[in-house]
Chains A and B, each alone.
Chain A
Amino acid sequence: MTDEPVLAVRDLVVEYRTPAGPVRAVRGASFDLYEGESLALVGESGCGKTTLGLALLRLLPRLGSTPHGEVRYRRADGSTVDLLTMRKEQLRRFRWHEAAMVFQGAMNALNPVLRVQDQMYDTIRAHRSMSASAARKRCHEVLDMVRLEPRRVMPSYPHELSGGMRQRVLIAMALLLSPRVLVLDEPTTALDILTQRSIVDVLQELRRELGFAMVFVTHDLALAAELADRVATMYAGRIVELGDSRDVFAAPRHPYTAGLIRAVPPAVGEATEISSIPGGPPSLAALPPGCPFSVRCGLSAEVGDGDGPAGVCVQADPELTRTGERHEVACHYSDRVEFTREVVVDGV
Chain B
Amino acid sequence: MSVTEADPVAAAAPTRPAVLRVLSAVWRSYAFRRILKAVLTVYLVATFTFFLVRLLPGNPVEVYINTLMQQNGMSYDQAANMAKALYSFDPGKPLVVQYLDYLNGLLHGDLGNSIGSPGTTVGSILVAYLPWTLFSVGIALIISFCLGILLGMAMAYRRNGVIDHVLSVIGSLLHSIPNYLLAIMIVVFLGIQLNLFDVSQMRGAYSPGVTPEFSADFFSDVMYHAGLPITTYVLTTIGSWMLVMKSSTVETLGEDYVTVAKARGLRDRRIATAYVGRNAVLPLFSQLAIAAGFVVGGSILIEQVFQYQGIGYLLFRAVNDRDYPLMQGIFLVITIAVVLANLVADLLYGRLDPRIRIGGGER
Q: A108-B257, A157-B354 are in contact. Are A113 and B265 (CB under 8 A)?
A: no
- Choose one: A93, A97, A103, A127; the contact of B260 (CB below 8 Å): A103
Judging by beta carbons under 8 Å apart, are B265 and A95 in contact?
A: yes
C-alpha spacing A103/B270, complex, angstroms:
21
- Choose one: B255, B275, B352; the contact of A108 (CB below 8 Å): B255
Interface string of A88-124 (1 = CB under 8 A from B): 0000111111001101011011111110000000110
Could you say which residues of chain B place their CB within 8 Å of the CB of A149?
none
C-alpha spacing A189/B279, complex, angstroms:
27
CB nearest to B275 among chain A residues: A111
Judging by beta carbons under 8 Å apart, are B265 and A109 in contact?
A: no
Could you say which residues of chain B place their CB within 8 Å of the CB of A93?
265
Interface string of A110-149 (1 = CB under 8 A from B): 1111100000001100110000000000000000000000
- Choose one: A57, A92, A105, A159; the contact of B354 (CB below 8 Å): A159
Interface residue? A173 (CB, 8 A): yes
Interface residue? B108 (CB, 8 A): no
Judging by beta carbons under 8 Å apart, are B355 and A173 in contact?
A: no
Could you say which residues of chain B place their CB within 8 Å of the CB of A109?
256-257, 260
Tell me the A140-190 residues at the B interface (CB within 8 Å): 157, 159-160, 170, 173
Other than the known A108-B255, A111-B279, what 6 A-B pairs have Cβ atoms closer than 8 Å?
A103-B256, A103-B259, A103-B260, A112-B355, A123-B264, A157-B358
Q: Nearest Cβ distance between residue A40 and chain B, in whole angstroms?
A: 21
C-alpha spacing A173/B257, complex, angstroms:
13
Could you say which residues of chain B place their CB within 8 Å of the CB of A113?
274, 278-279, 282, 352-354
C-alpha spacing A160/B355, complex, angstroms:
9
Count chain A CB atoms within 10 A of each CB in B255, B256, B282, B355 and give the residue with the most.
B256
Could you say which residues of chain A place their CB within 8 Å of the CB of B261?
111, 122
Interface residue? B93 (CB, 8 A): no
Could you say which residues of chain B place their CB within 8 Å of the CB of A191?
none
Tell me the A315-335 residues at the B interface (CB within 8 Å): none
Q: A109-B257, A109-B260, A113-B279 are in contact. Are A127 and B355 (CB under 8 A)?
A: no
C-alpha spacing A103/B262, complex, angstroms:
12
Judging by beta carbons under 8 Å apart, are A126 and B259 in contact?
A: no
Report the interface size class on chain B.
Answer: 20 to 34
Count chain B CB atoms within 10 A of each CB in A97, A110, A113, A160 and give the residue with the most.
A113
C-alpha spacing A265/B265, complex, angstroms:
41
Could you say which residues of chain B place their CB within 8 Å of the CB of A126?
264-267, 270
Q: Can you report 11 residue pairs joining A to B where beta carbons are below 8 Å apart?
A: A96-B265, A100-B264, A101-B260, A106-B256, A109-B257, A110-B260, A113-B354, A114-B275, A123-B265, A123-B266, A126-B265
- Choose one: B262, B263, B274; the contact of A114 (CB below 8 Å): B274
Interface residue? A59 (CB, 8 A): yes
The size of the chain A interface, using a CB distance under 8 A, is 30
C-alpha spacing A160/B270, complex, angstroms:
24
Judging by beta carbons under 8 Å apart, are B257 and A112 in contact?
A: yes
Could you say which residues of chain A place their CB within 8 Å of the CB of B274?
111, 113-114, 122
A-B pairs, top 3 by smallest CB distance, nearest first, are A95-B265, A108-B256, A157-B354
Q: Nearest Cβ distance between residue B193 and chain A, in whole angstroms?
A: 47
C-alpha spacing A95/B278, complex, angstroms:
23
Judging by beta carbons under 8 Å apart, are B279 and A95 in contact?
A: no
Interface string of B220-263 (1 = CB under 8 A from A): 00000000000000000000000000000000001111011111
Count chain A CB atoms within 10 A of each CB in B262, B265, B358 and give the residue with the most.
B265
Could you say which residues of chain B place their CB within 8 Å of the CB of A96?
263-265
Judging by beta carbons under 8 Å apart, are B262 and A59 in contact?
A: yes
Could you say which residues of chain A place their CB within 8 Å of the CB of B275?
111, 114
C-alpha spacing A81/B266, complex, angstroms:
21
Q: A97-B265, A122-B274 are in contact. Are A105 and B358 (CB under 8 A)?
A: no
Could you say which residues of chain A place their CB within 8 Å of the CB of B262?
59, 95
CB nearest to B253 among chain A residues: A62
Could you say which residues of chain B place their CB within 8 Å of the CB of A105?
256
Q: Nearest Cβ distance between residue A112 and chain B, in whole angstroms?
A: 6
Count chain A CB atoms within 10 A of each CB in B254, B278, B354 and give the residue with the most.
B354
Could you say which residues of chain B place their CB within 8 Å of the CB of A103?
256, 259-260, 263
Count chain A CB atoms within 10 A of each CB in B257, B261, B274 and give the residue with the most.
B257
C-alpha spacing A69/B352, complex, angstroms:
44
Q: Nearest Cβ distance between residue A90 and chain B, in whole angstroms?
A: 11
Judging by beta carbons under 8 Å apart, are B267 and A92 in contact?
A: yes
Judging by beta carbons under 8 Å apart, are B353 and A100 in contact?
A: no
C-alpha spacing A101/B261, complex, angstroms:
11
C-alpha spacing A100/B261, complex, angstroms:
11
C-alpha spacing A298/B38, complex, angstroms:
71
Could you say which residues of chain B place their CB within 8 Å of the CB of A59?
259, 262-263
C-alpha spacing A157/B257, complex, angstroms:
13
Judging by beta carbons under 8 Å apart, are B265 and A94 in contact?
A: yes
